[in-house]
Amino acid sequence: MDGLWHQNTGLVVLLGLCPLLAVTGTVVNGLGLGLATLLTLVASNLSVSWLRGLLRPEIRIPAFVLIIASVVTVIQLLMQAFVHDLYRVLGIFIPLIVTNCAIIGRAEAFASRHHPLAAMVDGLATGLGFCLTLVLLGALRELLGRGTLLSQAHLMFGEAGRALELTVLPHYEGFLLAILPPGAFIGLGLLVAARNWLQTRRSRRSTVLNKALGAA
């Protein structure tokens, strides 16, 4: 739950904001980058955990960066081969996954100190939380900016993906600000505010319930 909610990379820790804000003009773009980041976290955490006994403390950070860069290179080549059009849309933000502070942070703070299964679960939860944030922000911006959801789904799912494209608001002229860079900041702010509101509400309900149980 730390990776998904309590310490969500995009909504709480606020790391990796550059790609998060840059590519989330649509759901498909956010999902593509989110899945690439998730796979990177899982594979790099697993690799770091396996190799933790072999890495001297003096070289651990350069070694982590080398491992992450190797994983990202493999993912980049796979995307070039199988989803080339989506890869072209995401562009430089795929190799820039290497510089995402959240990935090297999880390698240093968790994977290098725990066994492989725990490290893999940590990478999966952290990556899933980041991916969900990308998808939610992409959905918000695409819906407000174009009145659609999953537009250009064929970039990820092939020609069959065209059946997934939804026009939620027919004859909608669009809201340009939502798909421009300022719209990304505003949308992220709304998501952070919504998450904080839900967390505060849950905390208050939990406090009231504990008091009621204590009185009983």
- 3 state DSSP class of 75: helix
- Burial class from Cβ neighbours inside 10 Å (0-12, 13-18, 19+) for residue 45 reads buried
| Distance in angstroms (rounded) separating the CA atoms of residues 125 and 38 | 9
Mean pLDDT of 169-192: 93
Beta-ladder partners of 149: 166
pLDDT at residue number 42: 97
DSSP string, 89-131: HHGGGTGGGGG-HHHHHHHHHTGGGS-HHHHHHHHHHHHHHHH
Residue type, 207: T
Distance of CA 186 to the CA centre of its chain: 18
Average pLDDT of every residue of the chain: 92
Pairing between β-strand 148-149 and β-strand 166-167 as defined by DSSP bridges: antiparallel
pLDDT(126) > 90: yes
Q: Into how many domains does the chain fold?
A: 1
Mean pLDDT of 152-167: 92
| Distance in angstroms (rounded) separating the CA atoms of residues 74 and 63 | 17
How many helices (H) and strands (E) are present in the chain, helices listed first? 9, 2
Distance of CA 189 to the CA centre of its chain: 16
Expressed as residue numbers, the domain containing 25 is 2-215
Task: Give pLDDT tens digits for 53-111.
Answer: 898 888 999 999 999 999 999 999 999 999 999 999 998 999 999 988 889 999 999 99
Spatial contact of 50 and 125, defined as CB atoms under 8 Å apart: no
Q: What percent of the chain has pLDDT over 70?
A: 100
φ, ψ (nearest 5 deg) of residue 148: -125, 170
Residue type, 214: G
C-alpha distances in Å from residue 201, one per residue of 194, 198, 207: 11, 5, 10
